Chains A and B, each alone.
Chain A
């Protein structure tokens, strides 16, 4: 069964803290993605990765960085959390870039920055 897991469902952090959100997929997928979801805005792509150690900026990368040291794991890093990064964060993976494969999503992490 396809599975994407995220390290936390809920997270509360203070302004200025460094925050790590972890995502793991067990499907041997090449592509992995990080989105944030805000009411009325849908899902917006932060970063994605199409291979180990490869990454590309999405539509809203400012204030975030990512790391992909192993194929199954994709981490999102908030270097210095701010209140405007309070949001739902969704990780996804897909098979590869050559076909129109659907993305499989994790359960999401609801992050609150106070």
Chain B
């Protein structure tokens, strides 16, 4: 069965430093997509970045990059030059190719950026 695991319930990072949020997944499908979302204290879910299982390059979006290691089934989010506004919950999610668009989410990691 498909599963997403985020093993870090909470993390701290100093402002302007880089931070890596871990995500591992389990699936038997060859075609799947991996997503990261940010949820600030206001509650809305904000899409950050996407990686397809057939993409050879790691995805990047501004200060966000996804460290995709297919053999290890990991899809870690790297945030460079952390800002105070990056303090939020971060969710990793996976979509399998045959499943009609639904996402399976991890438990989330709460990131706190210290000034």
Residues of A within 8 A of B (CB): 31, 33, 35, 40-45, 48, 50, 56, 58, 88, 90, 92, 94, 96-97, 100-108, 110
* B100: A residues at CB distance < 8 A: 31, 48, 50, 56, 97
The A-B contact count (CB < 8 A) is 63
Please determine whether B44 and A31 come into contact, CB atoms closer than 8 angstroms: no
A48, A56, A96, A100: residue with the most chain B Cβ atoms closer than 10 Å:
A100
Q: How far is the CB of A96 from chain B (nearest CB, A)?
A: 7
* A33: B residues at CB distance < 8 A: 101-103
Q: A42-B108, A48-B102 are in contact. Are A108 and B43 (CB under 8 A)?
A: yes
Please determine whether A41 and B102 come into contact, CB atoms closer than 8 angstroms: no
* A90: B residues at CB distance < 8 A: 45
B105 in the interface (beta carbon within 8 A): yes
